[in-house]
Each structure stands twice: as C-alpha cells, then as structure tokens.
Amino acid sequence: MISEFFPALRIFLALTLLTGGVYPLTVSGFAQSFFKEKAEGSLLHRNGKAVGSELIGQEFKEPELFHSRPSAIAYNPMPSGGSNFAPTSADLLKAVQERQAAGAVLDLLFTSASGLDPHISPEAALSQRPRIARESGLDESGLRTLISRHTEQRTFGFLGEPRVNVLKLNLDLLEASSGKR
C-alpha cells in the first residue's frame, strides 16, 4: 500500500504542476504574444476608459442609442442563458406582445440563447433609425451609412448572418452626435 502511495503522490504533484501551472502559463503567454487584444477580452474604449467588450452584449435604454436584443438575464454574464420558455408559454407570448407593441422588429422580439448577444441584424438597426434621428438630431441617411459601415458579413462568407455590433455602433454614434452638438 505504501509502495503505491508515493508514486501516486509524485504523479499527482507532477500533473498538478503541469496542468495547473505550466500549461496555463504557456497558453496565456502564447495568447498575449500573438492575440493581445483578444486575450484581454476584446475591450472597447471611449475617452481612455474601457466601456465594454465587443463579445458581450449590453443593455442600452437611452432613446438616442441603438438598442440591443432583449436579454432573459438582464445582460448579467454570471447565469448566462435564455429564458427557457416553451413556445406555448403565456409568459413568452406576453413578453413578445409587449415588445411588438413597442414597434420591435422580428429579431428584437425574442431573447438570444445566451442572453449576452452583442449583435443585432442590420434590419433591426435600420428599424431604429427614425427614433435615433429624432433623439440625436442626426439625419437618417447618415445613420444608414453608419449602420452600413458597422455591418459585419457572414463569417468565411457562409457562416451565420450579417450582423451589427451594437456597442461599436453606439460608440460611433456618440462620436458623430458629439460633433453635431
């Protein structure tokens, strides 16, 4: 029994050192060397201050900004997930009807599966132009250009759908409207 204990302890300590120390430090060093921005969370800055990550959605309620998709978890990344409402759920129907009454287009009616989706469709962004033009004082054609500039195409040309990162779009919108005022 003792003769088996010490070899097992050595293997345990070696694997702990390897998987808990050497491997994470190697991967982190590689990421910091070759993908520094991504390794640090793909943070976006405004006036020298980090305002969010381009990979994690945020809720925007200000009428002069583009709004994100609804989130079942209030954009809290800790319990990441959807609402898990069944298609026949009365609560889901009520939430969708409320969003529809507010004038939301199709992909703004439903929450994303993760609850943290940073993107909306170009159509959802375009549907918000009248409100933003009215609130920000920018013209709708300028907003269309801004949306077009921020539209990301399908990954590798065939994966996913065209999309607009709401945080990046809002940062440029704030920049454009500050020059207008």
Q: What is the pTM of this model?
A: 0.77
Q: Which residue has the tokens 């909306």?
A: 120
Q: What pLDDT sits at residue 82?
A: 67
Q: Which residue has the tokens 């694997």?
A: 15
SS3 155: strand
Q: How far apart are CA 140 and CA 31, in angstroms?
A: 41
CA angle 146–149–152, rounded 5-degree value: 130
Q: How far apart are CA 179 and CA 111, in angstroms?
A: 34
Specify whether the CB–CB gap between 133 and 177 falls below 8 A.
Answer: no
pLDDT digits (tens, 9 = 90+) for 56-114: 999 999 999 999 998 888 787 777 666 678 888 888 888 888 888 877 787 888 888 78
Backbone angles phi, psi at 109, to 5 degrees: -85, -30
Residue 50 Cα distances to 18, 41, 55, 61, angstroms: 34, 11, 13, 19
The percent of residues above 90 in pLDDT, for the chain, comes to: 62
Q: What pLDDT sits at residue 154?
A: 96
Structure tokens given for 111 = 């929450």
Q: Can you tell me the mean pLDDT for 109-133?
A: 90
Q: Where are the beta strands (DSSP E) in 5-101?
A: 43-46, 49-53
- Read off the amino acid at residue 125: A
